[in-house]
Chains A and B, each alone.
Chain A
Amino acid sequence: MDNPGPFTLGDFQIGAPGTQQTPATQIPSLVGMSGASLQVRLSGGTGGSTINVFIQTSIDQGQSWFDVANVSFATTPGVQVLNLSGLDKAVPVTPGNLTLSSGTILDGPLGDRLQAVVISTGTYGAGTLVSVRGVAR
């Protein structure tokens, strides 16, 4: 692939309920990617209710995005890691946008870019941060 190695999908300050996503200018180019390992970290994390981190990819050059993973947190800081494989064969599926069930991965379809969409409910205290890192190969 063109740029194997580490990448970031962003660091998101969590406060009031809302939705944030990787800035368009900071979406990494991952042309040729056949797989990626991702780490989603919640630090701080006092108060609040739930945080869902959707990992999305695009096959049509960013015109539409669909979910390939959904990682969730409650009020406890923690780290979750996951692996995405673009080499797995599976049955055709209808792509979903922010609909993938919590704690699941859609293996197989993997485009040339990734983004994170973070949805929080409840109000988290100052210093709450979600960071998403990956290594592409």
Chain B
Amino acid sequence: MTNVTALAGYRRALNARGEAVIVRRINGDAASTATFDATVIAIVMDYQPKPGVGTDRPEGEITIGARNIIVLNDDLQNRNFPLPITKNDKVVVRGEELNIISVDPSKRGVADAWDIVAMGV
């Protein structure tokens, strides 16, 4: 059950340092796909660069980074996002589409918040 005090704390944190992101669901196989987007406020943090996956020159090194993203379940419901969030849903942060590699509804469940790890190039 959601702790209203914890939820209020998360809401304050989102108001203070949150940014708008798009949580995206893509269904179907290419080229017959359908997308549903929900724009919500999230906290994006902990950019963790991974070792380069390509070192060819002159293109330079390609680095993959993972981010920890926190969003509130209430906000997703209010945007009619088809919950639950699942692995391989997407999150668009500042125009960059990240792939969700893990999602944990329990870690921040006291505030009914989703703890997401998403990775992009």
Contacts and interface: CB of A to CB of B under 8 A. Distances in A.
Given A41-B34, A129-B34, A13 B80 contact: no
B5 interface: no
B85 to A, nearest CB: 12
B80 A3 contact: yes
B90 to A, nearest CB: 15
A126 B34 contact: no
B82 interface: yes
A29 B80 CA distance: 7
Nearest to A23: B82
Given A8-B36, A11-B34, A129-B33, A43 B83 contact: no
Contacts, number: 56
B54 interface: no
B32 interface: yes
A37 B33 CA distance: 21
B89 to A, nearest CB: 13
Interface stretch (B7-15, B23-31, B64-72, B92-100): B23-31
B28 A127 contact: yes
B77 A29 contact: yes
A28 B80 contact: yes
Contacts of B32: 43-44, 127-129
A47 interface: no
Interface of A: 2-3, 5-8, 10-11, 13, 23, 25-26, 28-29, 41, 43-44, 126-129, 131, 133
Contacts of A43: 28, 31-34
B79 interface: yes
Contact of B83 (A25, A44, A127): A25
A31 B29 CA distance: 33
A29 B34 CA distance: 21
A8 B28 contact: no
16 contacts: A5-B79, A6-B36, A6-B37, A11-B27, A13-B29, A26-B82, A41-B34, A43-B28, A43-B34, A127-B28, A127-B30, A128-B32, A129-B27, A129-B29, A131-B27, A133-B36
